[in-house]
Amino acid sequence: MGNRTVEILNVTPEESHLLLKRLKDSMNNRYFVPFRISDDPRLKELAKLEYMQQQGVREESFEKDWPEFKVFLQSQPANRNILIPILDTGFMHDHPRLQGCIEQSVDFTGEGVEDLNGHGTVCALLVRENSLFKPRMLNIKVVESDGRGSPENLIKGIEWLIDFSKMHDVEIIANLSLGVYSKKWGLFRCKGECSICKAALKAANEGIAIIAAAGNTPGLISCPAVAGMNGDTLIVPVTTSSVISFREVD
């Protein structure tokens, strides 16, 4: 596979190295969560229906009680049989907002399942903070502490997930905020036929939905997001802002 490298794609390299410090103040035992997105209006509408059914009250009361009710909902286990695997740098397992959310962890880097970079934890926390109920997540570590990984390890992670899906009757929505800029023979941009795209397409054919970062470089799409560009698969390319803010855990 040459010298291709799996890269983190939704933050800058400079910001990636600072993420662990922004997530945890070890000196004072304080933890923080990212918030790139304010209250998702779709999440809020679902919560409004839930609240009004439970409480039998008017919409005006919901607006007043929404902050407290959101905290309550996010403490409840998900009522759907959905798993969210995150293929990234691992998770910070002692983070208080991830307690009860991590179903299983597996490492393909040799570093162990713990997050030594911070990016995987940020991805997990963004899922956590923007879910109506407590999400069920898989920690699949394929990227090392320096924010880079090998295509081989990414493919191993995808193949592990395919095997996992065959043994568990669950709906799987995988998050890949990483990718590779592939070229055929070092000259031509990938059109979905590289080994990473093929692995992702195999996963999609097994019913696994994949949310894949499209990349940080204007005019270029990373793999495996390239494989979803024709719209005929369960691979969904996405672009996100590289600006992440943090607040302390209440």
Least confident range of 42-51, 127-136, 167-176: 42-51
Distance between CA atoms of 63 and 57, rounded to whole angstroms? 11
210 CB contacts (<8 Å, ≥6 apart)? Answer: 173, 174, 176, 200, 203, 204, 224, 228, 234, 235, 236
* CATH class name, domain 6-248: alpha beta
- Decide the pairing of beta strands 171-176 and 82-88: parallel
Query: For residues 172 and 40, which has the higher predicted lDDT (pLDDT)?
Result: 172
Percentage of the chain beyond pLDDT 70 is 71
Distance between CA atoms of 138 and 102, rounded to whole angstroms? 6
Query: For residues 13 and 150, which has the higher predicted lDDT (pLDDT)?
Result: 150
Task: State yes or no: pLDDT of 216 exceeds 70.
Answer: no
CB 76 within 8 A of CB 100: no
pLDDT tens-digit profile of 19-56? 888 888 888 889 888 865 444 555 566 666 666 666 66
Distance between CA atoms of 244 and 40, rounded to whole angstroms? 16
Task: State yes or no: pLDDT of 65 exceeds 90.
Answer: no
Task: State yes or no: pLDDT of 152 exceeds 60.
Answer: yes
Distance between CA atoms of 33 and 99, rounded to whole angstroms? 13
DSSP per position, 161-211: HHHHHHHS--EEEEEE-EEB--EETTTEE-SS-SHHHHHHHHHHHTT-EEE
Task: State yes or no: pLDDT of 11 exceeds 70.
Answer: no
Distance between CA atoms of 118 and 56, rounded to whole angstroms? 42
Counting Cα atoms < 13 Å in the Cβ hemisphere of 54 gives 12
Q: What is the mean pLDDT of residues 71-87?
A: 77
**Domain residue ranges of the chain, discontinuous segments joined by +:** 6-248
Least confident range of 9-13, 179-183, 187-191, 231-235: 9-13
Mean pLDDT across the chain, nearest whole number?
Answer: 81
CB 163 within 8 A of CB 169: no
CB 13 within 8 A of CB 244: no
| pLDDT value for 181 | 82
